[in-house]
Amino acid sequence: MQTANALPGPLDHLKDRSVLRTACLIGGEWVADAARMIDVDDPATGRVIARVPDLPRAAATQAIDAAEAALPAWRARPAKDRARLLRAWYDLMEVHADDLAWILTSEQGKPLTEARTEIRYAASFIEWFGEEAKRLYGDVIPAPAADQRITVLREPIGVCAAITPWNFPAAMITRKAGAALAAGCTMVLKPASQTPLTALALAELGQRAGLPAGVFNVVTGSSRELGPELTGNPKVRKLTFTGSTEVGRELLRQCADTVKKTSMELGGNAPFIVLADANLDDAAKGAIASKFRNAGQTCVCTNRILVDRAVLEPFVAKLGAAMRTLQVGDGHEDGTVIGPLIDRAAVDKVGELVGSAMRGGARVMQGGAPHELGGNFYQPTLVVDVDEHMSLFKEEIFGPVAAVTPFVGDDEALRLANETIFGLASYVYGSDIGRLTRFVERLEYGMVGVNTPAISTEVAPFGGIKQSGLGREGSHYGLDDYTELKYVCLGGVPT
Ligand code: NAP
Closest by CA to 468, choosing from 442, 453, 446, is 446
Model pLDDT, residue 1: 47
Q: If DSSP codes are grouped into helix, strand and coil, which group holds residue 479?
A: helix
Return the residue whose CA atom lies nearest to atom 26 of ligand 1. Answer: 165
254 lines ligand 1 (CB under 6 A): no
Beta bridge partners of 30: 25
Closest by CA to 303, choosing from 265, 357, 250, is 357
Q: What is the mean pLDDT of each run of 10 residues along the chain (495 residues)?
A: 76 95 98 93 97 97 98 98 98 98 98 98 98 96 98 98 98 98 98 98 98 98 97 98 98 98 98 98 98 98 98 98 98 97 98 98 97 97 97 97 98 98 98 98 98 97 98 96 98 96
Beta strand pairing call for 186-190 and 159-163? parallel
Ligand 1 center from residue 425 Cα (angstroms): 18
Ligand 1 center from residue 364 Cα (angstroms): 30
- Kindly list the distances between the CA atom of residue 375 and the CA atoms of 45, 102, 364, in Å, as whole numbers in the listed order: 7, 21, 22
Tell me, yes or no, if 265 is annotated catalytic: yes
172 lines ligand 1 (CB under 6 A): yes
Residue 104 to residue 168: CA distance in whole angstroms: 9
Alpha helices (runs of H) in 376-467, residue ranges in sequence order: 391-394, 410-418, 433-442
Residue 329 to residue 326: CA distance in whole angstroms: 10
278 lines ligand 1 (CB under 6 A): no
263 lines ligand 1 (CB under 6 A): no
What does R_g of the chain's alpha carbons equal in angstroms? 23
The b-or-e profile of 288-321 (16+ CB within 10 A means b, else e) is bebbbbbbbbbbbbbbbbbbbeebbeebbebbbe
Shortest-distance atom of ligand 1 to CA 247: 3
Model pLDDT, residue 44: 98
CB atoms inside a 10 Å sphere around CB 116: 17
- Catalytic site residue from 265, 396, 458, 473: 265
Model pLDDT, residue 3: 64
Q: Are 328 and 291 in contact (CB under 8 A)?
A: no
- The identity of residue 213, as a single letter, is A
Shortest-distance atom of ligand 1 to CA 469: 41
The pTM of the full predicted model, rounded to 2 decimals, is: 0.97
Residue 175 to residue 126: CA distance in whole angstroms: 7
244 lines ligand 1 (CB under 6 A): yes
CB atoms inside a 10 Å sphere around CB 196: 29
Shortest-distance atom of ligand 1 to CA 264: 41
107 lines ligand 1 (CB under 6 A): no
38 lines ligand 1 (CB under 6 A): no
From the number of C-beta atoms within 10 Å of its C-beta (0-12, 13-18, 19+), residue 258 rates as middle
Model pLDDT, residue 213: 98
Tell me, yes or no, if 489 is annotated catalytic: no
Q: Are 38 and 206 in contact (CB under 8 A)?
A: no
